[in-house]
Amino acid sequence: MKHKQYLLDRLGFILMYIAGTGCFLLAVQLDLWMYKKEIHWTTIIYGLGLSSFFFMLFLIYDYRKRNAFTKDLRRYIEAGSVLADSLSIQNAHSYEQELLLEVIASMRQQFMNDLNEQHMKRQNESIFLNQWIHQMKTPVSVIELLLQKVQNNEAIEDILVSIREENDRILQGLDLALHMARLEQFEKDYKIEAVYLQSFLRDVINQNKKTFIQHGVFPKLEAEVGYDRIQTDKKWFAIALSQVIGNALKYTKIAQKEAKHIIFQLKEKDDAIELRVRDNGIGIPKQDLKRVFDPFFTGINGRRTREATGMGLYITKQICDRLHHGLFIEAEQGEGTTVVFRFVKDEAYYEVLRK
């Protein structure tokens, strides 16, 4: 069957050989007739036999060369197309076969990369789920203890304040889990639109007014721009900014300073607008700066508060990357942290993202 298939694959080549040989013999015969000469039929048969012999040798050589390669392909298919078995396809004897091997190797590498990426996602999801459950158990346990104090007729007002704080932690944990889940469907759930940054920041500050008061931190907006229109997804950028504000509140609250503040600075560059969120909290150790965007990384500061998950800045970085915003961090231990969002002014660039 495979011999027949090979001949069918080479049928055009064989027909061209026969046609070419026939034309050559006809040209020779016509030339001899012009000089009134004839070629003996035995000479024609001898010539045809000799050329056919060499042609058959070539076909046999070509068949053997192709057959080794097709055997490997057939063995790979019959084995169920197992990825590792594709490494055994090595008998390339032509440029065409080498190209095919390069395609197979490229597809294998792409598949492995996708597989590793999916594995890392599943692993991160599992770690996050375990950590999130642990984080949620803590406020639930605290609330239970507080309720027991209520039964013992202790100061009800202080207990209600503590319950509200624990409830806020639960809500923050639920929001974090929801944002993580939605990141997987980001491309199906975003809309690029014009946003006026000063107005947007005032709304965000007002929405978090109670939280600022609760943590004893004073927010301040400083605008050094004449043009503050950016292109972004309002909902997703609000989520990214809320993670930064949450971190700033968390690490400013525990700083040993009398006046605690978070300053929102707007600065205009030649080709971009920058939003700098600067706090005067405990800062970030130099050795931790390179890893602050890694998932689950809490660093030295994370050990100082039970609220640290190591996911806030990771989510912020993921959102900014997908919205094509720059994100940078400047910090000095004990002096505070500055998170910089950078928005390019090229609206034509974002028109492409809208489509």
Residues 6+ apart with CB under 8 A from 23: none
Domain count, the chain: 2
The residue out of 70, 93, 116 marking a domain boundary is: 93
| Of 253 and 203, more confident | 203
CATH number at 199 reads: 3.30.565.10
Query: Do 230 and 337 lie in a common domain?
Result: yes
Residue 161 lies in a domain: no
pLDDT in tens, 194-231: 899 999 999 999 988 888 888 889 999 998 777 788 98
Query: Do 228 and 343 lie in a common domain?
Result: yes
Burial of 284 (0-12, 13-18, 19+ CB in 10 A): buried
Residue 249 lies in a domain: yes
328: pLDDT strictly greater than 90:
yes
Separation CA 215–CA 106 (nearest Å):
54
Helices (H), the chain: 2-9, 11-34, 41-78, 95-151, 156-183, 197-207, 209-215, 234-253, 299-302, 312-323, 347-354
Residue 295 lies in a domain: yes
pLDDT in tens, 40-89: 667 667 777 777 777 788 777 777 777 767 777 776 666 655 555 555 56
The residue out of 56, 76, 93 marking a domain boundary is: 93
Query: Do 233 and 342 lie in a common domain?
Result: yes
Query: Do 197 and 345 lie in a common domain?
Result: yes
Residue 309 lies in a domain: yes
Residue 101 lies in a domain: no
Query: Do 88 and 195 lie in a common domain?
Result: no
Query: Do 213 and 83 lie in a common domain?
Result: no
Q: Please state the pTM of the whole predicted model.
A: 0.60
315: pLDDT strictly greater than 80:
yes
Domain with 53 in it:
2-93
The residue out of 93, 125, 142 marking a domain boundary is: 93
186: pLDDT strictly greater than 60:
yes
Query: Do 210 and 329 lie in a common domain?
Result: yes
Query: Do 347 and 199 lie in a common domain?
Result: yes
Residue 146 lies in a domain: no
Separation CA 275–CA 342 (nearest Å):
7
Residue 61 lies in a domain: yes
Residue 112 lies in a domain: no
